[in-house]
Structure 1
Amino acid sequence: MATLYLVATPIGNLEDFSARAVSTLQSVDQIACEDTRTSGVLLQHFQINKPTFSFHQHNEHQKVKHLINLLDGGQNIALISDAGMPAISDPGFLATRAAHQNGHSVIAIPGPNAVTTALAVSGLPSDRFTFEGFLPPKKGRQTRIQEIADSDITSVVYESPHKLVRFLEKLHEFAGDDRWVCITRELTKKFEETDRAQLGELLKRWRNKDSIKGEIAIVIAGKSYSE
């Protein structure tokens, strides 16, 4: 029986990479990477010299068999995404399921994660929350936004910069001016930004920005929350 390690990587700041994560990557036989070029920068920085192969959303179904064959052959494999925890809005679910189904051990090496980081910094209720990831680009998108607006618990959403204002506008249609929302951008990076306000005010501010860039996570309070 071999082991599949799910290793969290920094979402921005390389100093967030744990000593345990480094030692795990140094100890495995091969590393499955969402993007071998992106991961190569990280691995080189920490002087980790292990064979790598690509494992991303476009080849995940095909590469699972290869990964299981490696585990069946007694090799320990680490799976890393470009940033954050594998299998959380990133490839990894299929590999993790297959490893369990084939009798191999699965161990997570926890670390940076944009969902929990955004939730923690938001100052909004975190005892219960729903993680929506990226919403559908078209079909079902409006329904999901309405469900978020109608929810009694906090929701966390990932959004691309060019869709952010449109998301806020649609949420505003369903939730109104008073809903508390926190937008986090470029978490742990040089230009990290946290903007927390009621939705009406927040929408005005972000409509007036010249340009919006970077990785964005949005935390939306439940409809019954007030301050």
Structure 2
Amino acid sequence: MATELTNTQWIEVLQNSAITKEFDIAMFQALYSFEGHKAYASQIGLILGTHYGPLNLELGRYAKRIAEHYDINFTARSKEKYKFWDLFFNGWEDGIKFVWQLRPELVEALEATELTGDEHFPNELSATPETLFEGIKRTITVNAYERNVRAKQLCVQHWKAICSVCGFDFVRTYGELGNGFIHVHHLVPISKIGKSYQVDPINDLRPVCPNCHSMLHRVDPPLAIEELKNIVCQLSS
């Protein structure tokens, strides 16, 4: 009886909708986006709008669904209780909180199935190789909200898919084809965000059209939303 799945088996699991639910994918995507694919369990709960307890219960249900298809031996913790998260993560106490880290096989499977949740916006970064490297590094290390698709969804859900600068509405111009399409801009410049910074998708992000997004980043540091809005208003009046 195996204690872990191979990357091939994980690919099968991720692609089986009877086993893997949308919440499971969101959980993996959130954790994948942290540096080293590791974070506090409480951080993952915060991102997904829940707490450690319900998150752990969901992991148990997920593990049991997997066990119905694969011969898995869960790590025993105490009588009739098991560390279900052991199937998905390496876990340890770091002296502050409990850390989860995606297993390498699961990381490979997420990448192979293109389910990492990554979203890259080149116009968030400068053109020079040095700055580009630093930008990518910061984008990876900030936290899951920096690159996770759920952050964008929460931002757009709150502010709507309308440009915060010029008011452009993709649906009004392109119909259903433009439904939900918009870029998301960070109000706090990436260069000022540290590893411990927890991005709030409603207060720290704003939907902007690609043109305005590019204009915001024409200078360093980027223009504030209101600054660019004033420019647009002055030139259109």
Instruction: State if a TM-score over 0.5 links the two structures.
Output: no
More strand by share: 1
Give the number of the structure with larger relative contact order, counting CA–CA contacts within 8 Å between residues 6 or more apart. Answer: 1
Kindly name which structure, 1 or 2, has the bigger radius of gyration based on alpha carbons: 2
